[in-house]
Amino acid sequence: MGESKKLTIALAQMDVRPRQAEDNLARARSLAAQAQEAGADLLLLPELWLNGYDLERAKEWAAPVGEGGFARMAEMAQEFGLYVAGSTLERHEGGVSNTAALYAPDGTLLGSYRKVHLFRLMQEPKYLAPGDRAVLCPTPWGPVGLSICYDLRFPELFRAMALAGAILFLVPAQWPVRRLEAWTLLARARAVENELFVATCNRVGADGDVVFPGRSAVIDPWGRALVEGDDQERLLVAQADLREIAKARRYLTVYEDRRPEAYKVIE
C-alpha cells in the first residue's frame, strides 16, 4: 500500500461548457490553484472537462495522449505540484475515445484508460471507440484505478481492479440530475463492496435541458462520504486515511470469504 498513509484529495466540481475550452481551462486552473493552497495531493477533474460533451465534433476536439487536454493536465500537475486526473478526448489509430489519465506532479503520465462502457443514451457508441482493459496507476499511496461515469454501473470492472490491489478508484463524470439517486448509491456501493476509497467528480450546470447536480464525493471503505458537494461550482477537499482499508478488511473479511469457484450459473 506504500509508506504514505494519508492522501488529501481535491475534487474540481465545475461547470463544463461545450466548445469553450479556454474558459473551461481557466476555471480548472483556478480550482487547481485552490487545491494547491489547501494542501491537496491529488486533484480530480470532471469527465470531458476541457471540451464538454460535443461528440459530433469529437474528432475535432480529440488529441493524442501527450497533447491537447492531456498536455493541459500535465502542465497543471507541474505548475501546482499535484497529481492530476480527469478525462478528455483521445485521438488514436482506432478512432476517438473518452480517456481518463493520471499525471504525477512532475508531469509524468502514470496511466491512461479508455472508457470501456459506452453510454447509448448519449450516443457514445456512434462517435467513440471503447477501451478494452482496466488500468491501475502507480502512486506513493498504492495503485489507483481509473474509470469514467457510466462505468460505475459495472461492478465487475471495479472488482477486477480491487483484486489487483487498488486502494482508490477515481470517477470523473457528467451524470445528470434525473439519475442522482443512482449516482450516490453506486459510488458508495463500489467503495463498500471493495472496501477501499472512491473519489467521484461530477460536473454542475446545464447543457440544454440536461441538468447536472454535482454531488461529487470522497467515500471511505465504510461507505461514509468524507466530503460531498452540492450543485454549485466549488473545490471539495477531503483527507483519506488509508489505514481504514485494512481496518475495514479485518472487520469484514470479504476478500477471504469470496468463493469464485461457486460463481457459476447452473442451467
- Hey, what's the torsion of the CAs at 156, 157, 163, 164, to 10 degrees? 160
Residue 172 phi, psi (nearest 5): -75, 145
Does the annotation count 149 as an active-site position? yes
- Residues ≥6 apart with Cβ < 8 Å to 212: 15, 174, 175, 176, 177, 202, 203, 204, 205, 206, 231
The count of other CB atoms within 10 Å of the CB of residue 53 is 18
Active site residue 22: no
User: Using CA atoms, how far apart are residues 199 and 121, in angstroms rounded to an integer?
Assistant: 24
Q: Please indicate whether residue 115 is annotated as part of the active site.
A: yes
For the record, the C-alpha cell of 200 comes out as 467521484
Distance, CA of 214 to CA of 14 (rounded, Å)? 8
Which among 90, 115, 201, 244 is annotated as catalytic? 115
111 contacts 102 by C-beta, under 8 angstroms: yes
Task: Exactly one of 90, 149, 228, 244 is catalytic; name it.
Answer: 149
Lookup: cell for 58? 469529437
70, 201, 104, 35 alpha-carbon torsion, rounded to 10°? 110
Q: Which residues are catalytic?
A: 47, 115, 149
